[in-house]
A and B are shown apart, each in its own frame.
Chain A
Amino acid sequence: MTTIKSNDLTYDFKKKTSAGKIKIKVWGKSQIVMLLTFLSLFILTVYGFWTFDLKGISLIEATNETLYNLKVMFLQPSFSHFTLLDAVGQIGITLGLGFLSTLLGVILSLFLALFAAKNLSTKTVSNAIIVVVTFIRAVPTVLWVLILAIAAGLGSEAVILGMVLHSVAFLVKAFSESFEEVDEGIIEALRASGANWWHIVTHAVIPTTASSLLSWSFLRFETNFTVAVAMGAAAGAGGIGFELLMASGFYFDLREVGFITYFILVIAIGLELFSTQLKKRFLTNASA
């Protein structure tokens, strides 16, 4: 056999700079667009700070005040308008809101995602679901709650409906993408043996994707918990969010705000740790 000699290559692929050095980076369209975006953002930021209307507030004084408030809030947390037991109860309500909306969302999404997955559904049905779901996702949860409040009235019903709607929109995308990752060959093998669609879904697709479905659901639960905190205040669904609103906007009790914030933080960290464990257990199982 012959080997290729280097002088057989007549065309030189190396690009040179004007100084004659070999180029490594090539300036394409995307790099230029990126650079222009950064430049304009930078200019806008500088311009924004330049033209702030400070209304006679001294920057140093304001910074000091803010730091003092933060100190009171986070270094001297305490509660005065309710007991620890109340706080636990309110957290329970918020968790309940998050859990209920996630559960309903997961059940609905599971069915919709099966029809949204390209490998399990027809093109028309799949595309139709994807379009609707993308639209729902594009509108923030708060807006959905306010829109639904027209019919259901401001309160926990509207909040749950809004959260379910947005959860479904999120989970249908996540679930259907998991379904689409299922090996086409497995589906083919079962179809070739005479199995019908429901057999394939329940005995091949769901078992294969179970751990990622669980991870997505729990991720959504974490999101729904934080949304439920905000909704408790904004849409009157009650729970710890409402207490937070009362403490800050009604009683101006900084110490209580600090206390509630810590409490929410603890729960959020707990959920995070739990979901990490969950993932780890399932992932080790998968590789075993």
Chain B
Amino acid sequence: MALLHVKDVSKHYEKGKNVLSDINMEIFEGEFVSIIGPSGAGKSTFLRCINRMINISEGDIHFDGIDVSSLNKKSLRKHRTKIGMIFQHYNLVSRLTVIENVLHGRFGHKSTLQGVLGMFTEDEKMEAFHLLEKLGMSEHAYKRCDQLSGGQKQRVGIARALIQSPKLLLCDEPIASLDPNASKVIMDHLQSISKEMNITCIVNLHQVDVARKYSDRVIGLNSGRVVYDGESKALSSKAIHAIYGSEAGSLIME
């Protein structure tokens, strides 16, 4: 059975203006899926519907066998702990240290009092260091996050998401603010997370070549509709132009 089941999903912020229309897809465990499409296509909106940071208007989303729309406040928190999220601007608390930021990923598993008092178990701290080690960041564990480079910040973001022990990672343009070297490091880490830890990754990207290189499957969105859904190898330049709605040859590509 699919990990994520999206059926006839539509979303509008204002009446009559659909940002997402009739989205249907199934995403399986361990899959690495890229979503590409022009600005304003609805990529960020779609990701946020999955962990219900945004409520959908129509259709339903089943994740891990649970109907996402039906969740109450408490079970919604539990649902969100199973889904890690990674952002373009990292969204770390920059005045706190790396290790503190990583442990923030555990709040979903804690009561209010435990969280407020910052009561983390030794196991959780060990796990945090283990993840930082894996991402090559353990030497920076006690640095404040505003002293890190963009690529390092993004690795902290990944560690914060992984410590949730998620089944799914949602990545909203994780490399849009990074140079090519740091981008490669981040994409390599995401790939190994998906392959070795069997965590499903859904990644919004603006770089078609990156999407093609790293993902098993590419989904193309345009004006809130799925216009391509298939293997990344099968992604032809004709399909790319259909996704971006442009004339052949007018896109910047290698």
Contacts and interface: CB of A to CB of B under 8 A. Distances in A.
Interface of A: 183, 185-186, 188-196, 198-199, 202-204, 207-208, 210, 286, 288
Contact of B81 (A185, A193, A208): A193
A190 to B, nearest CB: 6
A46 B8 CA distance: 76
Q: Which of A195, A207, A288 has the most CB of B within 10 A?
A: A195
Interface of B: 51, 53, 77-81, 83-85, 87, 89, 91-96, 100, 104-105, 107-110, 112, 115-116, 118, 146-147, 157, 160-161, 164
Contacts of A193: 80-81, 84-85, 104-105, 107-108, 160-161, 164
A206 B102 CA distance: 18
Given A191-B53, A202-B116, A203-B115, A196 B89 contact: no
B107 A195 contact: yes
Contact of B115 (A192, A195, A208, A210): A195
A194 B164 CA distance: 9
A202 B100 CA distance: 13
Given A194-B81, A199-B110, A208-B95, A189 B116 contact: no
B91 A185 contact: yes
Main secondary structure of the interface of A (DSSP, over half): helix
Nearest to B79: A194
A199 B53 contact: no
A114 B74 CA distance: 22
Nearest to B89: A185
Given A185-B91, A207-B96, A190 B77 contact: no
B95 A207 contact: yes
Which 10 A/B pairs are nearest by Cβ-Cβ distance? A194-B108, A195-B107, A189-B91, A185-B91, A194-B80, A194-B81, A199-B115, A192-B85, A199-B107, A194-B77
A22 to B, nearest CB: 40
Contacts of A188: 53, 87, 91
